């Protein structure tokens, strides 16, 4: 209601004021803290100073291919301040948490996803089946439509799945048709592409979610950013005041949109997939949907915060 959003570079006194007013920072990981297996220069030092200043640091990622424990190990390996698994909110964990609450006791999930997604389900006690390769159960469509279905399955969960196949799509559809509205359809995120070093990319989880949604003719509940469910997971674990929380990310349509939707201060880093020209394009638009993608502040890199954090 306050007119067009305006994004400003966060530096000098403004940086000290913004950081000083925050008690919690939520960080996306890839493109913000690291790129692939290499930490962004100065990022570990900046987070170390934030931790030393008493700030709560949490990590929110749409990647469903790593467990929370794997993320804490990567943070340690790359020199970031020590983190406990409870500080990591990946879409695999958030999906498992959602199903634990939404499914009746003993109900199972059919999973299109990684071993990490399966591990997070196991950790919260949700039975599951489906991870790994799958083959069609015969040569003809009649065979595909008659493959056995587990009677305990009451949800289909779609995450990143390198073994995604027509056979899995058939089974997912059959579970959803059998259960109707009582069979949940849940996706970890809608990221359409996963950028790789060198400027290339691979299809993301959103492509797989869309395939299942198209077959089932229904929409999935998405636990990852920009859905506020991921922020609600953080708020259920910690005493979070949105007015004193900063969301730090490199993607406008996930990190920044979630932060803006949840009333957080939003900080964009330019070490990932977004350029300043993209921000300016949204900023100059009269469209409310595009305005919702504009961050409050930007920095070239998390390392730019070091001067404001002192020695």
Spell out the domain ranges in the chain.
Answer: 8-62+226-308, 92-222
pTM of the model: 0.94
In order along its 311 residues, the chain shows pLDDT tens digits of: 456 889 999 998 999 999 999 999 999 999 999 998 999 999 999 999 999 999 999 999 999 999 999 999 999 999 999 999 999 999 999 999 999 999 999 999 999 999 999 999 999 999 999 899 999 999 999 999 988 999 999 999 999 999 999 999 999 999 999 999 999 999 999 999 888 877 788 999 999 999 999 999 999 999 999 999 999 999 999 999 999 999 999 999 999 999 999 999 999 999 999 999 999 999 999 999 999 999 999 999 999 999 999 86
Q: What are the residues whose beta carbons fall under 8 Å from the beta carbon of 217, sequence distance 6 or more? A: none
Q: Is 28 annotated as a binding residue?
A: yes
Q: Is 311 annotated as a binding residue?
A: no
Q: Which fold has domain 92-222?
A: Rossmann fold (3.40.50)
Q: What is the pLDDT of residue 187?
A: 98
What are the C-alpha distances in Å from 7 to residues 251, 263, 267? 14, 15, 9
Rounded (5°) CA angle 150-156-161:
110
Three-class SS state of 306: helix
Q: What is the pLDDT of residue 2?
A: 55
Would residue 30 show up in a list of annotated catalytic residues for this protein?
yes
- Pair 150, 108: CB distance under 8 Å: yes
Would residue 296 show up in a list of annotated catalytic residues for this protein?
no
Q: What is the pLDDT of residue 198?
A: 76
Environment class of residue 82 by beta-carbon count within 10 Å: exposed (0-12), middle (13-18) or buried (19+)? exposed
Residue keyed to tokens 């961050």: 295
Q: Which fold has domain 8-62+226-308?
A: Rossmann fold (3.40.50)
CA distance 159 to 271: 25
Rounded (5°) CA angle 21-223-7:
40
CA distance 292 to 285: 10
Check 28, 161, 191, 255 and give the catalytic one.
28
For 235-245, give one letter per residue: b (16+ CB within 10 A) or e.
Answer: beeeebeeeeb
Q: Is 280 annotated as a binding residue?
A: no
- Pair 293, 256: CB distance under 8 Å: yes
CA distance 99 to 156: 10
Residue keyed to tokens 């109707």: 180
Check 23, 30, 239, 304 and give the catalytic one.
30
Same CATH topology for 8-62+226-308 and 92-222: the answer is yes
């Amino acid at each position: 209601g306050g007119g067009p959003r305006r994004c400003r570079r966060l530096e000098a006194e403004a940086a000290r004021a913004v950081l000083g007013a925050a008690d919690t920072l939520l960080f996306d990981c890839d493109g913000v803290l690291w790129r692939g297996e290499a930490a962004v220069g100065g990022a570990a030092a900046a987070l170390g100073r934030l931790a030393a200043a008493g700030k709560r640091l949490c990590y929110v990622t749409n990647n469903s291919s790593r467990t929370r424990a794997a993320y804490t190990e990567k943070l340690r390996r790359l020199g970031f301040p020590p983190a406990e698994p409870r500080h990591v909110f990946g879409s695999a964990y958030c999906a498992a948490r959602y199903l634990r609450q939404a499914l009746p006791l003993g109900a199972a999930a059919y999973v299109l996803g990684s071993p990490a997604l399966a591990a997070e389900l196991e950790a919260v006690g949700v039975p599951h089946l489906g991870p790994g390769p799958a083959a069609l159960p015969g040569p003809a469509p009649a065979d595909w439509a008659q493959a056995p279905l587990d009677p305990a399955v009451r949800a289909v969960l779609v995450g990143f799945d390198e073994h995604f196949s027509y056979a899995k799509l058939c089974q997912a559809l059959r579970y959803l048709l059998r259960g109707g509205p009582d069979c949940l359809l849940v996706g970890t995120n809608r990221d359409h592409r996963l950028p790789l070093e060198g400027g290339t990319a691979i299809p993301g989880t959103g492509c797989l979610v869309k395939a299942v949604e198209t077959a089932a003719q229904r929409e999935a509940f998405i636990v990852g950013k920009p859905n506020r469910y991921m922020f609600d997971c953080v708020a259920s674990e910690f005493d979070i005041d949105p007015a004193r929380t900063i969301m730090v990310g490199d993607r406008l349509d996930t990190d920044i949109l979630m932060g803006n939707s949840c009333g957080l201060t939003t900080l964009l880093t330019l070490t990932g997939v977004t350029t300043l020209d993209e921000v300016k394009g949204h900023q100059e638009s009269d469209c409310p949907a595009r305005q919702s993608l504009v961050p409050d502040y930007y920095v070239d890199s998390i390392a730019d915060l070091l001067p404001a954090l002192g020695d």
